[in-house]
A and B are shown apart, each in its own frame.
Chain A
């Protein structure tokens, strides 16, 4: 897989004037941002600020109320059915709980997109699925069912499935949620390794500070009241320089509160 792309190429993701919501209720209003190729980009913010809504709109599970999303310079929002299906191959998604198909083994889970989209023979599909699972540290668990493995393993298997088609972009929804710090750090290392090896662009929806400061190149912070982006930049820079109390409170959440004097 090629190294991260040159700056002259179109960005991995371009979001322009995106408004999203449900049942006539607007959650995010007129937001725009760009994700460079090979970047690890975090979408952060408190609960209910619209992180997951934004993700669902980006990956086409919900239609935006207004605005457009472009992947690698091509419009995803306004693509016709065939174009949209072709573009689905350019990105993979790791869902919060892994979202593995419970009736399939891990190998079959990873193999399904390969069978659907590639001209590979069944033997090659099996070999590649085994490799993908090995890349996320699941060698020996290929024939296990999702119900037989732990939560952290499910996430890793979900990542292997998201990487099955060697996508240019991978979306990760709360990858660290529900994981212990060690497993969470291993998953972060895996994200870095994926970028390093494949030059993949990774968009991570999270509010785990350790992950944000550990692996994010750039973040955008969403706010429920503003219904939009209130900060954008490198996480350390935002933590040190932002004068917005919502941003600094969020990014310094790890500090131990000082007990009130009695």
Chain B
């Protein structure tokens, strides 16, 4: 509705117990309007008569005033006479009263037991979905081995580029800075014992066995895992996954395996790259701050870091990659079909992946200790 030309008014006149209210002017929902208590002004009428002779343009704001008046009259037991108002207003007013009476709030509150029960059922459902998903993935790998030509090799290569090559800048930055931080932290302690040179051992061993894979995992969980969940969640919302199923094409073969294998291959490569960058970061600090020559740093590092350490890091990276891929794809495929559902799936994918990476890392620490690696 356009802007009002004359302000809305409710002119009240009180005589012989009758309050006559003449409504006038232009009533606009976005502007100011009179309110019933002001028109009533503390008087106690036996009867209220409403008229609209001076009404200009009007909209829902007039209805709100009339509804307010009617509600007051009903509670006060006062007769409300609206006969002088146009029939169109009557119809809308009736509709408003009906909607007000028939609208029953939808109670979404739950008691404690219902909440616990729902949560338990949800955990059971998610466990079944997870088991089904893992089973599908295993079958998908079996189908891939049996019919390698049916595999989506183009998607696989594209995913490798997306989650591998495209992640190089962020992985480089994070790994280099982790190396720098480790070197600085190590130097604080080692300097006290005159063992500055052992910063090389600390950085080298930490990066190769632990931090290279772990930091790459965390970066890719946020970058690639969330992207997997969002993409698959959107595809589910657009019924693209349903379309695959109805064509008899397993969604896992088409969408999940290329992503999973791409991450499984790119993660160790990125982790090795991260190791190098981390060692470089440590070396930069050693050269600049601790005045250790680069050659001495390198030679010292090689006295403690060997191929078995590298193998430990690579094994971890492969597992972390699979965890990120599985968490991202599972959350995406299990996402609710809405914008909010896709958002929740992406968040859940990142949280799940990081949590599982840390749990897996702890398990690896125990297992490798037992194996003497």
Contacts and interface: CB of A to CB of B under 8 A. Distances in A.
Interface of A: 1-2, 72, 89-90, 102-103, 114, 117-120, 124, 127-128, 130-135, 139-140, 142-144, 146-147, 165-168, 197-198
Contact of A198 (B30, B59, B106): B59
Given A133-B99, A134-B99, A128 B60 contact: yes
A193 to B, nearest CB: 10
Interface residues of B, number: 35
B102 to A, nearest CB: 5
Contact of A1 (B59, B67, B102): B59
Interface of B: 1-2, 28-32, 56-61, 63-64, 67, 88, 91-92, 95-96, 98-100, 102-106, 108, 336-340
A142 B106 contact: yes
B59 A143 contact: no
Contacts of B60: 128, 131-132, 166
B64 A128 contact: yes
A131 B99 contact: yes
B92 to A, nearest CB: 7
B93 to A, nearest CB: 10
A128 B100 CA distance: 9
Contact of A130 (B92, B100, B108, B336): B100
A134 B99 CA distance: 6
Contact of B340 (A102, A139, A167, A198): A102
Contacts of A144: 106
A155 to B, nearest CB: 17
A143 B96 contact: no
Given A118-B30, A142-B103, A143-B105, A166 B1 contact: yes
Nearest to A167: B1
A1 B106 CA distance: 31
Contacts of A140: 102-104
B103 A1 contact: no
A131 B96 contact: yes
Given A102-B339, A127-B67, A134-B95, A139 B29 contact: no
A147 B337 contact: yes
Nearest to B64: A124
A60 B319 CA distance: 50
7 contacts: A127-B64, A128-B60, A130-B99, A139-B99, A144-B106, A165-B1, A166-B29
Contacts of A90: 1-2
Contacts of B31: 119
Closest 10 CB pairs of A and B: A134-B99, A143-B106, A166-B59, A102-B338, A131-B96, A2-B57, A166-B1, A130-B99, A130-B103, A147-B338
A243 B291 CA distance: 91
A103 B341 CA distance: 10
Contacts of A133: 99
In this complex, which of B2, B102, B338 has the most chain A Cβ atoms within 10 angstroms of its Cβ? Answer: B2
B269 to A, nearest CB: 38
Nearest to A131: B96
Given A89-B30, A143-B105, A168 B1 contact: yes
Nearest to B57: A2
B102 A139 contact: yes
A159 to B, nearest CB: 15
In this complex, which of A90, A128, A135, A166 has the most chain B Cβ atoms within 10 angstroms of its Cβ? Answer: A166
A198 B32 CA distance: 20
B108 A114 contact: no
A127 B61 CA distance: 11
Nearest to A74: B2
In this complex, which of B64, B95, B99 has the most chain A Cβ atoms within 10 angstroms of its Cβ? Answer: B99
Contacts of B338: 102, 146-147
Contacts of A165: 1, 29-30
Contacts of B337: 147
B99 A118 contact: no
Contacts of B88: 197
In this complex, which of B28, B30, B31, B58 has the most chain A Cβ atoms within 10 angstroms of its Cβ? Answer: B30
Contacts of A142: 103, 105-106
